[in-house]
Structure 1
């Protein structure tokens, strides 16, 4: 007994412990979910705050433009550029630094906003256009330094080219509502990459140095007077004013300061003197400018508050040492001192400090860069080093050693490194490789030189750890090829081959191919300097392949495709806000050869696009026959895949009228009867688009369902009837379509053809023995619909085939009733002449055709019906005769006609009212006069015991009452005379 209790107790205890553990686990899970929820809320708040800050920054930026615009001088060049922007969607303003390119762009943006209601959108990246621009909204996009400032930035050019299709499509859809205005330094605009960009986007360039837009002396003086007085300008002289390109900037910088003519003749020397003096007398300010240079003109304020930023602390200490200052200032003191230069050297906003103008930064960077070479090479921004530093020419170099591009730089503000600093330069390059930051290694200004490549190869050969990094990372191989660093590219490839051979097992034959080299090689990337390429792009193993596609490098693509598992050709990633695979990216970049290469390497051709379709849908809609043949060559290509609207590629090809695509798809045994969400088949859409060739192709197959109905039960025959396409109608009838199928409204092809008056098609249908008297859901025959829509030739044709004119509609009306409503006497004549018409047949309200004609004021039709011996005193369900109706409608001529034709003038309605009552009630004096003169009995009382005179008197129709009185007096006189 005791043991049983112990056992039971243990079971209960164990059960309780298990429950307790489960509760603890649930609590842990709850806490975990709660933390995730709180984190999500914080993220949302941060995003909202970021959104608000972005909007606030935008408003502040435009407000600054407005302030500068107050001193803007509109030259003839500005007016010309404004006209160009009005006429074209994409305009670039080019010119030397300091010429006022940005000021003109801002002025144009403000003009569009103030005069035409455009929204201003200052952006930095081309992807922002797709993010912020909306069709239907008036927007003007402003982009400063479209493709780089100091030199062409191939990264930005690549981003523009990647988004070409999307942006051009958006611009085309937006039409007049979207304008893009960009600025570009002249030396950048002369580069080949920029010229290609101009062609791709059909950009209109406005060169401020061209004869058309160049400023004359008077205009330059006008600009100068916005900032200076006449005396200042006179002291400069005409030659200085005329020959100084950056005159607008120099005038702006001189405003409110002691005027110095030397500043206009030798601006750099002026800044050099100022900076020299500052380095001696105000070292703390100079310290701040040095930091600005190190951070490449974007010095974040929060760096001065962050005590834990180890890198900034090191940079700060290094600058202090190199400037040889006696006392080390605090970070905040340096920032506050730097801010005192606001308006002269720098401009300060909420979060950062930058030079007052890009040209001013060129001066500062050149001066300080030469002083702080050691610190810059150790800690400076990668882009700064890449774009602004080079080696001095020496006797051992030849011109062929250097590749300067179209134009190396503007105004020669390049920091030249002597032999003593080359070692530091290459130390930085080795450091960048170790940090997997490869852009500076292969895309700097001297990367193409044999000297640079040879020196780097020598260093790599002596450092196994760095060599291992550069040979084990596909990015190094790819970017070396992109940078046209042939020596380095070959060296890396050879080292990878060696490495692979060493790793191969003894039982594996070394083939020495690139496939072996890259097989199972992991791709790592940690390169912040790839600018516009998003993190999602960088983290993908597919990134090198996509970059190669963007740069149209078929050789590199081939190498990567042969790399086995190193590249996942079908990985979907987000790039520039668009999710897609390498194949989709290639197709939308219009790269046919590359697209074919990818398909040959088994790229998935069936990956879905955002609309649920595949690239095959796009190919067929755009009519790209060459691409279609390549896609169909893939065994995996699903020709029957549907998009979100359940449209097949064939459907889209039919809709777009791409006959060759239709032929190829049909030959590929696609389903030609697959219907979309509206139930429409390819045959339906081909008929709708009136493409007889495509209709013929579809009908000539053995399995086309010619009588397939859509969701409204419309057949292809009905759709072609709506389009009045005789050729397609004949094709469909020739292939045996059903002529009498009715849609959801009960209408056949003949109903539709009769409604729109297509006599040829009506004749064709009748000749092929369609049912001529079928009724729709309202019991309307084709004849009735033809009458309702005044289709006279169709009416004659239908009547000639003895159609039934006495079939009643849902309201009980015959063809004659409907004809009487039209007021067209010739239509009534057609029906009456058919000799099959019941002229007195009444509708559901017991209205005869004559009553209908009276109600619609058709005198000619009334006369024709009376000639046809119709009954003129038939009353409707309210007891109203045609005369009642004509009187109430104030059709006096019809009233006259009815009376002369012998109608009963005193016939009473359901409430015992004669037509005279109707005239008195409506106040129609002319009708009262006519009826009384024709002998109408004015003494008849209605069901309320009232006479017509009582009605007129109660209504206040004094003219009618007066006429009754005159009529009574006349009657009394007649009685008196009759008694004499």
Structure 2
């Protein structure tokens, strides 16, 4: 009897271990095979961009799956489970479909062994193991499973060109290895959790069905209730915006509608509405307080009345995440890319999504609209110009003669907010932010209206000064407003409740600056903060902000006069970089009225804050976004401060790097890009390595990119390598060719230093080919040719370009294709551009293998063609598609080019890969002059004479 019991226990233990082995294989080995497949078929750095172009995945991926996808660039596919990898492989069409199609009711048969069949098998097997109720797996059943696993592994080894038995051996180990109790329990627990998770999903679905069954029993009396329930479930499934976000949007729109009650329609409003009838994007441009935000919101509410769903945008990704194809939607972007200055980080965030934005706007001209408010100072900033959709669209300039407030409009606005006295005020008030003043004045109690409008900010100053004299309550109010400044108008409620010691120190220092005791109750500060809501402040989504950015500008200035040192020490970095200006570099004409002047006796304090940010790897904040760093005097002052610091600290600062947009940038590179020549000796003196960053540009290339001969000369004198390239294989002499305003002196300097003039980038571009493509300076081309540039080296073929692109992290395939698409638009006649646009996905095949002579023919540039032919450019060389320069001229009807090429013995009998000769191309495109030219050689002689 005991023997029988012992045998039963052993048998049960063995069958449970067998189940654990299935868990090991289904959770480790099978997913790893799919990960290897994805690594080869879909490089991690391209995944998110490709998913953004796939409508099905955009609509159907769950929130947790998006979180995993956004980490793939850094973590590869390690966090992806089988269901997610199956979705990616299937919907990005990375492998051919299974024999019976995806997710067929019938599983693949033993004779169906394509790669698609095996991907389908892995998913089905995984689900089968997770959902089986019986945890006892007999030895015979285990052997059957592992036989299937090994067959799949063997086929995948062959398909992925893996070493023989690389996958199979791992399956065999999983089948036979010794599994201790802890490991066994771990895999059993994982299987149980997976089963529970998916059971919960099934239960949720079953619960819906049970509800439906219950409703059917009472069908006659509850038809309308049933319909509502079904509609609710259906609508929730169709919604891409989570319910809590929708609730927040509803609250925000409710506030808009309240503020809109006193809105006065103007010419600018009608202009924007008329634009949106025919356009899908409008940018409303204006100075602070002029009313651009109010107009965008009023217009959006009008569009809501026409059936559009209004969605305020808080971050750029909202457009991608909240967009629904076919659903009338208007997105509202307020103060895009900053309010006081152009915010480079925000610009970069928008830039990454331009492809998505353009695709959405192009595909849905009538259904999707975007209305943007933008500060004038941001709109005019050259950094903003990269956001083409918002620059090239219709713009409403509220300061223009046609759209600025008319006299009657000012009268109406003043009357709505101020009553009868408004008429007099409207005629005398000189400020362009008159609408804001009316709004703010209407919120003030016992205010002298005439005094307020004659000098509004002196009124605010007096009120704040008065608050400071009203005991602890008043000082707590000033403290609360000062914290809004410290956190740059984004004071979160949690800042007043957290136990974070860093936040506590900031609050204590602000309290001390306001005349309060250190350790003043944060509850008391929060209570006083709440009393300022609807007068000075507004509260949205647990965040306190001033009622308008113009008032925030004043508040920052006011606080700087009361607690300058406290602001410099504790304010967020962006406030420090944007609003403080040293008194020795003031420009009286351009200075903003609320800029904070740094006196000489406070300069050391300010420089110390910059170094503090620098030490925290905030290189862009210090070197790029700080308005003082543009001035050489200020940089000299900073260098003087650095020289007095400990040598170890200097070395640490000089070698500091920052990860920005997936690229490691160094102090040296940033200084070269910003043209800070006076910083170079100090940085290199600290032993900084030129190859410190992994950017697409070396420091010398960065200097060449901005065309700064003095900086290039300085770098070379300090030992920079003239031929060193970045991750895109771009050397300094490549970089120097990128812009039309290139200085001949820069080219001469580089050639004199024996720059390798025929090096090729990742796409095959030589410096000569890049110069020909991106600028029209014939003198530069001649210098390169006289320096032995090889004018017969062309671009790589499309396959090579694609292969090399997989190794370039800072430049995507989409960006490369967009570059060439824009090149054809900007440099070629419409006949060429239209040909390229017919098949935009084939653009790499069009330029693949193109030599400088091909590029000049695309541009129909006789002068460059003559220059190349004089240098013995090979005239009959073919591109990837077999087209010679003569074939291009005949295809596009460039008779003068064809004549010139024939004069130099171009072969008219050469055929393209599709078999067409030059004459065939001319006939096909109805270029009769060229047909005659090709058919009668004497015509050439006549034309030349």
- CA–CA distance in structure 2, aligned partners of residues 322 and 687 of structure 1: 78
CA contact (8 A) 1:162 1:550 kept: no
Q: CA shift at 1:407, angstroms?
A: 0.9
Q: CA shift at 1:258, angstroms?
A: 4.0
Of 250, 253, 256 in structure 1, the residue corresponding to residue 437 of structure 2 is 250
List aligned pairs for 1:788-799, cutoff 5 A: none
Q: 1:444 to 1:497 in 2, by over 3 A?
A: closer
Q: 1:480 to 1:158 in 2, by over 3 A?
A: farther
CA contact (8 A) 1:699 1:706 kept: no
Q: CA shift at 1:697, angstroms?
A: 4.6
CA contact (8 A) 1:695 1:728 kept: yes
- CA–CA distance in structure 1, aligned partners of residues 409 and 456 of structure 2: 21
Q: 1:336 to 1:571 in 2, by over 3 A?
A: farther
Tell me the equivalent position of 2:174.
Answer: none
Tell me the equivalent position of 1:732.
Answer: 934
Task: Structure 2 unaligned segments of length 5 or more: list them.
Answer: 1-21, 37-43, 48-61, 72-239, 657-664, 799-843, 939-945
Q: 1:130 to 1:686 in 2, by over 3 A?
A: farther
Query: Quick check: which one's helix share is greater?
Result: 2
Question: Which of 252-261 and 44-53 deviates more?
Answer: 44-53
Tell me the equivalent position of 2:157.
Answer: none
List aligned pairs for 1:444-459, cutoff 5 A: 444=626, 456-459=638-641
Of 895, 899, 907 in structure 2, the residue corresponding to residue 692 of structure 1 is 895
Q: 1:621 to 1:190 in 2, by over 3 A?
A: closer
Tell me the equivalent position of 2:67.
Answer: 46
| TM-score under structure 1 length normalisation | 0.52
CA contact (8 A) 1:622 1:656 kept: no
Of 849, 858, 861 in structure 2, the residue corresponding to residue 648 of structure 1 is 849
Q: What per-residue deviation string (whole Å, max 9, x for no partner) do you get for residues 706-745 of structure 1?
A: 152653x444333333344444334434469xxxxxxxxx
Q: 1:371 to 1:723 in 2, by over 3 A?
A: closer
CA contact (8 A) 2:673 2:702 kept: no
CA contact (8 A) 1:377 1:424 kept: yes
Q: What per-residue deviation string (whole Å, max 9, x for no partner) do you get for residues 114-136 of structure 1?
A: 779899885888x9999999999
CA contact (8 A) 1:623 1:653 kept: no
Q: What per-residue deviation string (whole Å, max 9, x for no partner) do you get for residues 77-133 of structure 1?
A: 5446777899999987665432213323444566678779899885888x9999999
CA contact (8 A) 1:92 1:181 kept: yes
CA contact (8 A) 1:542 1:571 kept: yes
Question: Which of 127-136 and 634-643 deviates more?
Answer: 127-136
- CA–CA distance in structure 1, aligned partners of residues 276 and 734 of structure 2: 33
1:104 and 2:295 equivalent?
yes
CA contact (8 A) 2:308 2:328 kept: yes
CA contact (8 A) 1:294 1:381 kept: yes
Tell me the equivalent position of 2:793.
Answer: 638
Q: CA shift at 1:208, angstroms?
A: 4.6
Q: CA shift at 1:222, angstroms?
A: 1.3
Task: Structure 1 unaligned segments of length 5 or more: list them.
Answer: 1-22, 393-400, 501-517, 525-538, 574-578, 737-980
- CA–CA distance in structure 2, aligned partners of residues 111 and 130 of structure 1: 23
Of 364, 367, 390 in structure 1, the residue corresponding to residue 555 of structure 2 is 364
Q: CA shift at 1:409, angstroms?
A: 1.1
CA contact (8 A) 1:135 1:173 kept: no
1:463 and 2:645 equivalent?
yes
Secondary structure at the aligned position of 1:243 is classed as coil
Q: CA shift at 1:376, angstroms?
A: 1.7
CA contact (8 A) 2:479 2:525 kept: yes
Q: CA shift at 1:249, angstroms?
A: 1.2
Secondary structure at the aligned position of 1:347 is classed as strand
Secondary structure at the aligned position of 1:342 is classed as coil
List aligned pairs for 1:530-679, cutoff 5 A: 540=695, 542=697, 548=703, 552-560=707-715, 570-572=725-727, 589-593=739-743, 596=747, 600=751, 601-602=755-756, 606-608=760-762, 624=776, 626=778, 634-635=789-790, 638-639=793-794, 641-643=796-798, 644-645=844-845, 647-649=848-850, 653-662=856-865, 669-670=873-874, 672=876, 674=878, 676-677=880-881
Q: 1:614 to 1:692 in 2, by over 3 A?
A: same
1:431 and 2:612 equivalent?
yes
Q: 1:724 to 1:271 in 2, by over 3 A?
A: closer
Q: CA shift at 1:452, angstroms?
A: 5.3
Q: 1:447 to 1:726 in 2, by over 3 A?
A: closer
Tell me the equivalent position of 1:951.
Answer: none
Q: What per-residue deviation string (whole Å, max 9, x for no partner) do you get for residues 576-602 of structure 1?
A: xxx988888766654544995898544
Q: CA shift at 1:467, angstroms?
A: 3.9
Q: CA shift at 1:294, angstroms?
A: 1.0
- CA–CA distance in structure 2, aligned partners of residues 689 and 73 of structure 1: 55
Tell me the equivalent position of 2:461.
Answer: 272
CA contact (8 A) 2:908 2:934 kept: no
CA contact (8 A) 2:287 2:433 kept: yes
Q: What per-residue deviation string (whole Å, max 9, x for no partner) do you get for residues 790-837 of structure 1?
A: xxxxxxxxxxxxxxxxxxxxxxxxxxxxxxxxxxxxxxxxxxxxxxxx
Q: 1:460 to 1:95 in 2, by over 3 A?
A: same
Of 580, 585, 601 in structure 2, the residue corresponding to residue 389 of structure 1 is 580
Tell me the equivalent position of 2:488.
Answer: 296
Q: 1:257 to 1:315 in 2, by over 3 A?
A: closer
Secondary structure at the aligned position of 2:845 is classed as coil
Q: CA shift at 1:639, angstroms?
A: 2.0
Tell me the equivalent position of 1:507.
Answer: none
Question: Which of 361-370 and 422-431 deviates more?
Answer: 422-431
Secondary structure at the aligned position of 1:245 is classed as coil
Q: 1:716 to 1:430 in 2, by over 3 A?
A: closer
- CA–CA distance in structure 1, aligned partners of residues 750 and 502 of structure 2: 47
- CA–CA distance in structure 2, aligned partners of residues 417 and 184 of structure 1: 28
Q: CA shift at 1:379, angstroms?
A: 1.7
CA contact (8 A) 2:337 2:347 kept: no
Of 706, 711, 716 in structure 1, the residue corresponding to residue 918 of structure 2 is 716
- CA–CA distance in structure 1, aligned partners of residues 756 and 398 of structure 2: 51
Q: 1:293 to 1:553 in 2, by over 3 A?
A: farther
List aligned pairs for 1:115-194, cutoff 5 A: 149-150=339-340, 152-153=341-342, 155=344
- CA–CA distance in structure 1, aligned partners of residues 723 and 325 of structure 2: 36
CA contact (8 A) 1:301 1:351 kept: yes
Q: CA shift at 1:243, angstroms?
A: 3.1
Q: CA shift at 1:338, angstroms?
A: 3.5
- CA–CA distance in structure 2, aligned partners of residues 426 and 622 of structure 1: 40
Q: 1:243 to 1:483 in 2, by over 3 A?
A: same
Q: CA shift at 1:315, angstroms?
A: 1.9
Tell me the equivalent position of 1:864.
Answer: none
Instruction: Calculate the aligned-residue CA RMSD, in Å.
Output: 6.2
Tell me the equivalent position of 2:126.
Answer: none
Secondary structure at the aligned position of 1:607 is classed as coil
Q: CA shift at 1:435, angstroms?
A: 3.8
**Computing the radius of gyration over CA atoms, which structure comes out larger, 1 or 2?**
1
Q: What per-residue deviation string (whole Å, max 9, x for no partner) do you get for residues 629-657 of structure 1?
A: 67775449732633342643255654554
| TM-score under structure 2 length normalisation | 0.54
Question: Which of 88-97 and 351-360 deviates more?
Answer: 88-97
Q: CA shift at 1:61, angstroms?
A: 6.7
- CA–CA distance in structure 1, aligned partners of residues 393 and 863 of structure 2: 33
CA contact (8 A) 2:765 2:794 kept: no
